[in-house]
Amino acid sequence: MSAHLPSRRELLTMFAASPLAPMLLRAETDYTAWYREAKFGMFIHWGPYSLASVEASWPIMQPSKEFPITEEQYRALPQQFNPTKFDAAAFVDLAKAAHQKYMVFTTKHHDGFCMFDSAYTDYKITNTPYKKDIAGLLAEACHSAGMPIGFYYSPPDMNHPAFRDTAKPARDNWNGEPTRSVWPLYLDYMELQLRELLTRYGDVVLIWFDGLHNQRKFDGERMHRAILACQAQTLINNRIGIPGDFETPEQFLPAAIPVKGKKLDWENRDTGTKPNYVPKPEEFRLWETCMTINHTWAYNKNDHEFKSSRQLIRTLVEVASRGGNFLLNVGPQPDGVIQPEFQERLRAIGKWMDRNSAAIHGSTYGPVQGAKGFRTTARGRDVFVHVFDWPGTTLEVAADDLPKFNSASLLETGQPLQFKQQDGRVTVEVPVQAPDPDVTVITLRS
């Protein structure tokens, strides 16, 4: 009988404690492949703050007239939190309907309240009238439906006495007090909670830190080691003071395609490359824009400024055309239901994706950047031209070193289109009317 040769993963799990294990496993497998394929995810900002229709955490960190609630009132919200209509499977079904291929859930926002049953604090979901571990219910539903799930985790923690002197109002010391002698205890707490999240909820595809300012104080290297010792394939973003696996522009798109080694400047959205630069594959830096559908990450019944489904579809295309992922946020209501305006838009995106997802999922940035009226994505032998401004009967696509195309067609129907290609310019005969009211996709196949 042949001896059982342990698999690579079994070997690494055996030596998981050794610092080499994660690097070994990651070195060999392209652990980012699923993420590059997914392109579109659902962000979920949810906690007792949804009861008050205020933004998550900020009303106690930077009190404002927009969210008039005292720290005492905010901290009392968990006592009334009981989302009896929460149905984790319904969240997953909605994400699938939108063609979102991963979900990222706020396990702990800056307020320090844990939406998971942590053994290291009483300020948690299982100590509310709801009693159940919402992160666990969502993880279970995701695993049953084959939906990758990631966890948002805030290093800033207004509730933990080793993060800040909690005798003071959070507005006075919300950035934390790392020089206090107790600070190491907070880092221990963070590591313990990260290990809970990565050992009790099945596969966690990514950890989405949200470190705010002076992130080096959170010892990112230590937290990375802890995460990878538990799950070596887990991706980690760039918000705990080290670059991590992907960049996270928030509520905006980088002006060009991000590249490794160049800092993304949030002020002017500059990627440090020349405009419309098309990087070599090995230069490309993974990135993800996260965005709200209105203006608030949390549920806010007073925020009616919803982006239209056309705006959201076009943002998804814009992001994909520069090689990025789009993490679109929902803030569930206090009863556990995702509000109709969000559902409507996600389903509208899903309808467009029903016809065009081949040009988004598994794609990367296209060869034509900065064109007026259209965007491009690429996948294998196909270049997809996403037309925003319909050109009448002729579409011109020009760029240096375009491949020689053998066919042109409408993606959603497969209808062949006449085209000519000469000196780096492709001229396609298109119908007089745009076939799709939001974005029409034309496939050029080489």
Residues engaged in binding ligand FHN (CB under 6 A): 45, 56, 210, 250, 290, 297
Of 52 and 290, CB closest to ligand FHN: 290
Measure the CA dihedral 157/162/166/169, to 10°: -50
Structure tokens given for 255: 């002006």
CB of 275 to ligand FHN, least distance (A): 26
CB of 162 to ligand FHN, least distance (A): 21
Query: Nearest-5° angle of CA 299, CA 349, CA 305?
Result: 40
Beta bridge partner(s), residue 326: 40, 289
Of 26 and 45, CB closest to ligand FHN: 45
* Cβ neighbours of 325 (radius 10 Å): 23
Alpha-carbon gap, residue 111 to 73, rounded angstroms:
13
Residues 6+ away with beta carbon under 8 Å from 369: 256, 257, 276, 277, 278, 321, 322, 376
CB of 242 to ligand FHN, least distance (A): 17
Residue facing ligand FHN at closest CB distance: 297
CA 327 → CA 68, 150, 192, distances in Å?
29, 12, 27
CB of 220 to ligand FHN, least distance (A): 17
Alpha-carbon gap, residue 321 to 399, rounded angstroms:
15
Of 210 and 247, CB closest to ligand FHN: 210
Alpha-carbon gap, residue 360 to 294, rounded angstroms:
23
CB of 110 to ligand FHN, least distance (A): 6
CB of 210 to ligand FHN, least distance (A): 5
Of 105 and 189, CB closest to ligand FHN: 105
Of 111 and 412, CB closest to ligand FHN: 111
Of 239 and 345, CB closest to ligand FHN: 239
CB of 363 to ligand FHN, least distance (A): 24
Structure tokens given for 156: 């800033």
CA 314 → CA 35, 308, 350, 353, 439, distances in Å?
20, 10, 13, 12, 7
Q: Is the separation of the CB atoms in 14 and 337 below 8 Å?
A: no
Of 162 and 290, CB closest to ligand FHN: 290
